[in-house]
A and B are shown apart, each in its own frame.
Chain A
Amino acid sequence: DVKVTQSSRYLVKRTGEKVFLECVQDMDHENMFWYRQDPGLGLRLIYFSYDVKMKEKGDIPEGYSVSREKKERFSLILESASTNQTSMYLCASSPRTDLAKNIQYFGAGTRLSVL
């Protein structure tokens, strides 16, 4: 069974703090993704990575950065947290395989509140 683990289920931070969200997968997947999910907006892609040390911007990268030093770990960094970054953050991984099987597996999510 694929396991994607996010380090925290709930986080409360103050405006201006630097925040690290960690994600680890145990299936040797090449691809990893960070999304945020907000009511009525669905999941929106922040950043993704197709290999170690590789990263690409998603649709809403502003205010975020990422790090992928090891294949199994993909970190999301909020350089200076703001209240509009209060959201549910979901990490996902997927294997580099044929299109129909390119399924994403999600972590349980981190609900971040920025006060």
Chain B
Amino acid sequence: RKEVEQDPGPFNVPEGATVAFNCTYSNSASQSFFWYRQDCRKEPKLLMSVYSSGNEDGRFTAQLNRASQYISLLIRDSKLSDSATYLCVVKSFNKFYFGSGTKLNVKP
């Protein structure tokens, strides 16, 4: 079983839509959680850390559910520039585990 699992998508949404991604992780002792964004043929870059109480950064909201071992990312009012692959990342015992990513296509 993979440490971190994501729906690969693609999610095809119109501009202005709200879209949500989920990610599940297998290690209940995981300590830190992140969403990274990766554009085509580029390196991953941090989008946001995910805190236990949930957190928001502009149009992006991240939630953590430790009991069910999943994290989520909600994007409101999608922009064309949000098109990318979103990687769920979980840190357990000094190692980072990456999901294989969820691809988002925002269409005009």
Contact (Cβ within 8 A) B44 A99: no
Classify chain B's interface size: 20 to 34
Majority secondary structure of chain B interface residues (helix, strand, loop or mixed): strand
**Are B98 and A42 in contact (CB-based, < 8 A)?**
yes
Which A73-113 residues have a C-beta within 8 angstroms of B? 90, 99-109
Q: Count residues of A near B (Cβ-Cβ below 8 Å).
A: 23
- Are A33 and B42 neighbours in the complex by a CB distance under 8 Å? no
Asked if A41 is at the interface (CB within 8 A of a chain B CB), the reply is yes
The answer to whether the Cβ of A61 comes within 8 Å of any Cβ in the partner chain is: no
A104→B96 contact, CB < 8 A: yes
Q: Which residues of B contact A (CB under 8 A)?
A: 4, 8, 31-32, 34, 42-46, 49, 51, 87, 89, 91, 94-101
Q: Could you list 6 examples of A-B contacts with CB < 8 Å?
A: A35-B98, A44-B98, A45-B95, A102-B32, A104-B46, A108-B43
